């Protein structure tokens, strides 16, 4: 494990450490399920009546929800988020390029956007590697929100 890398959980972890992990996963999954039932479903008629209004509402509601897993991780595990660099104006276009070192650091991306300006969470779009779009659920969701994908090819192949 290199410097700055997150610790690896081993089988011998105390029960309370495992309980925090299960709590995080349970709350995240339940919020996604209940959000889709109680927030998205009642707004479905807007797709036919006023599609632009539906899109605007959904962008804002999903923007609020995506902050929750990172905030929950900060609360449950005590992780700290510091935002450094230039502020982003939500009314102007911006490109942010991320190269994440872990599987979970993208959760903090939305918290960073929220700390800069909460409206940034409603307008961000994510570009993924093209092969990830075939991953059920997590891979298809970004493409449902009109995100782009990159097809990366090996020049040596």
**Distance, CA of 134 to CA of 30 (rounded, Å):** 24
- 84, 88, 94, 95 alpha-carbon torsion, rounded to 10°: 20
C-alpha count within 13 angstroms, C-beta hemisphere, residue 51: 1
**Which helix (H) or strand (E) segment is 12 a member of?**
none
More confident residue, 127 or 136: 127
In this structure, how many other beta carbons lie within 10 angstroms of the beta carbon of residue 108?
Answer: 22
Per-residue model confidence as pLDDT tens digits over 45-93: 999 999 999 988 888 888 888 888 888 888 888 877 777 888 888 888 8
Could you tell me the CA-to-CA distances from 67 to 17, 45, 144 in Å, in that order?
23, 26, 19
> 95's torsion region: left (phi>0), alpha (psi -120 to 50) or beta?
beta
Per-residue model confidence as pLDDT tens digits over 89-132: 888 888 877 776 666 777 778 888 888 888 888 777 766 666 66
Could you tell me the CA-to-CA distances from 61 to 70, 73, 126, 131 in Å, in that order?
16, 20, 17, 28
Q: What is the pLDDT of residue 6?
A: 60
């Amino acid at each position: 494990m290199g410097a700055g890398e997150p610790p690896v959980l081993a089988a011998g972890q105390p029960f309370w450490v495992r309980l925090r992990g299960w709590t995080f996963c349970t709350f995240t999954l339940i919020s996604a399920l209940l959000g889709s039932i109680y927030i998205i479903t009642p707004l479905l008629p807007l797709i036919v009546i006023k599609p632009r209004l539906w899109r605007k509402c959904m962008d804002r509601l999903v923007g609020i929800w995506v902050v929750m897993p990172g905030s929950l991780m900060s609360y449950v595990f005590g992780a700290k988020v510091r935002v450094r660099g230039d502020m982003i104006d939500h009314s102007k276009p911006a490109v942010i390029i991320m190269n994440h070192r872990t599987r979970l650091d993208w959760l903090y991306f939305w918290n960073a956007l929220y700390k800069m300006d909460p409206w940034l969470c409603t307008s961000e779009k994510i570009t993924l590697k093209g092969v990830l779009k075939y991953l059920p659920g997590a891979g298809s969701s970004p493409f449902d929100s009109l995100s782009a994908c990159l097809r990366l090819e090996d020049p040596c192949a």
